[in-house]
Amino acid sequence: MYERNYDLLKSKFREFFFPTLLTSMAGNICLFIDGLIVSFLIGAGNMSAIQLVTPLITFVNLMYWMIGLGGSVLCSVSKAEFDDEKSNSYFSTSLLSLIIIGTLVTIFGFIFSPSVVQILCSTKPDLIPLASQFYNVLLFGMPFLCYMMSLSYFIRADGIPNLPFRAILLSNIVNIVCDFIFMGYFKMGLAGASLATTTGYFVGSVFISYYFFKSERTLKFIRLKVGTFFSYLKKIVTAGFSSSSTQLYLTLKIFIMNALLGYYFGKSGLVAFSICYNSLFILYIFLIGTSQTMSPIVSVYFKEEDFSGVDYIIKKSFKIVVISSLILSALFIIYPQLLLTLYTVKNPSDVPVVLNALRLFAISYVGTAITFLYTFYAQAIQKNTLSTIISLLEGFVLPSLFAFALSSLIGGNGIWISFAVAELLTIIFIIVYSIYINKKTKGEYTGFFINKHNDDKDVFEYTISGNTKDAVDLARDVGDFLAGEKSSSLVSLAIEEMLVNIIEINDNVDTIDVIVRKEKGYILISVKDSGIEFNPVIEQKELEFDSISVLNNIAEDVDYSRVLGLNSTVIKIKN
């Protein structure tokens, strides 16, 4: 008797996870190092000016997360629905709109530069000259940042995860090298820091464009009418806003926190917040790497009603983010001096503020990890309203509310404590909501992640090795399971023909997942394998066997898609 062992999902998760983790590592470690270099070359005090300009960066992050990530998820879903035209439409709409948005940010940001910088520095007007240096040059990198990051989401969804990693790594290496050139050699100060960043974005954008010359890519640009373009854009924004809204709320939260910290601690508070914020880059390596690996896989498997596969992926992802956040939290609570040394904080007035802030801020890491992953998960299973509510509570409402309340009660330390309080209350909200949904659906949804579960009486899941004997044995066992069903023999035959075809056309295929589901009036057979691309709907005359002809004759419908680098075939047989 065969059972599902999840080896195919495990290998697919690993295939996506390590390049995505490395991509996240390339981006976040380099951002972390970039802050160290700025602090080393021009002094930790200058980080306060960079901190005041951070809302611009988080706003642009909002744009490419919302449209790039939202569009790539919808693109993956369309591929799971075997609709190539729709997936290409999402790809074309997302990339074109982000290039336009990035350009508009540069143009209008430059035109209204004095007003924007004055707003950003409202509580510290003495930092306006320094902030302007960084802000004005950084604007020119925004179109390249939008293009590079949005394209990276689609490339990963197209089953080519290594290219985005290399592009973002190259971008950040160029940034770091140029830091030493512009700030160290040419003594350009904060303008040199932002010029280095912009140069990195440009080089990364050129490199990632190699995707359009790769023969294995499946996504293509297509022309869309204006009305159709905006129709797709609306769907993309709706799908992507829930997870990307974290950046909107982060933009507002940072602006509010900058004002409060400037009031209570002055420049030292802004330096401390900048270092705390930069410490998150290390945590985000694991959070972004895991969430962006999990999201497209869960969206495809949930769409195909493979709830066991969804459960496997989300549990694996949850373990990674919780363990990594616990380790980092303990490290910075026990040894906050580590970051103090790395950022060369020497000003006697800054040291006690930064040490205290790091210890209190690190308490929030585990909660951040859980809510961050859950936001992406809720979007992947198309619960966008829930994802948006979580983002709003955790990202803006609760931390801002408690920062005001606690700072009024206990002083400036209340601002640092508010981050952990916000995460805890958000998790409590998720628990209460999941209990409510579980009861409301009478057990149809279960657990913290409110996932459905397959009915063992109607759904059978199997994994086999890629050999003919296992294929024949599995077909026989499925026939035994469906004994009494009118179409049991046809289902058994269809599975045997499909599996034999996969084995014959591949030199080697390790595992094949087969799911048989009873539906009203018919039986659905879902087959996934990691072999070479082959569409069973199209019979190929050069093949020396006719198993696909047999399959197409006995099946009412056969759908095929190449999604996540897997062959996904769904066979429908009348019962």
pLDDT band at 293 (very low <50, low <70, confident <90, very high): confident
- At 552, the pLDDT band (50, 70, 90 cuts) reads low
- Looking at per-residue pLDDT, the higher value among 466 and 450 belongs to 450
State how many domains the chain has: 2
Mean pLDDT, the chain, integer: 85
Element housing 522 (H / E): strand 522-529
Which pLDDT value is given to residue 267? 84
Q: Indicate whether 153 belongs to any domain.
A: yes
Tell me, yes or no, whether 407 and 484 share the same domain.
no
β 522-529/511-519 pair status: antiparallel
Whether residues 491 and 350 fall in one domain: no
Instruction: Report which of residues 42 and 419 the model is more confident about.
Output: 419
The answer on 483 and 389 residing in a single domain is no
Judgement on whether residues 319 and 402 belong to the same structural domain of the protein: yes
pLDDT for the residue 524: 83
Q: What is the pLDDT at residue 27?
A: 62
Task: Give CA–CA dist 413/241, Å, rounded.
Answer: 32
> Does residue 404 sit in the same domain as residue 463?
no
Give me the domain span that covers residue 523: 459-574
Q: CATH number for the domain including 541?
A: 3.30.565.10
Domain assignment present for residue 449? The answer is no
336 and 463 in one domain?
Answer: no
Q: Which of 378, 413, 440 is the last residue of a domain?
A: 440
Instruction: Say if 1 falls within a structural domain.
Output: no
User: Do residues 142 and 80 share a domain?
Assistant: yes
At 545, is the pLDDT very low, low, confident or very high (cuts 50, 70, 90)?
very low
The closest of 565, 12, 564, 22 to 289, measured between CA atoms, is 22
Read off the pLDDT of each residue in 383-392 and give the average, rounded to a whole number.
Answer: 86
Residue 22 has what pLDDT?
72
- pLDDT tens digits along 239-268: 888 667 777 787 888 889 988 988 899 888
- In this structure, the answer to whether residues 486 and 435 fall within a common structural domain is no
Q: Do 436 and 467 lie in a common domain? A: no
Predicted confidence (pLDDT) per residue in 162-214, tens digit: 898 889 889 988 988 999 999 988 989 889 989 999 999 999 999 999 999 99
Question: In this structure, are strands 445-446 and 451-452 parallel, antiparallel, or unpaired?
Answer: antiparallel
Separation of alpha carbons 84 and 118, rounded Å: 48
Per-residue pLDDT, 281: 82
Residues of the chain with pLDDT > 90: what percent? 34
Cα Dmax for the chain:
82
Q: How confident is the model at residue 128, as a pLDDT?
A: 87
Say if 450 falls within a structural domain.
Answer: no
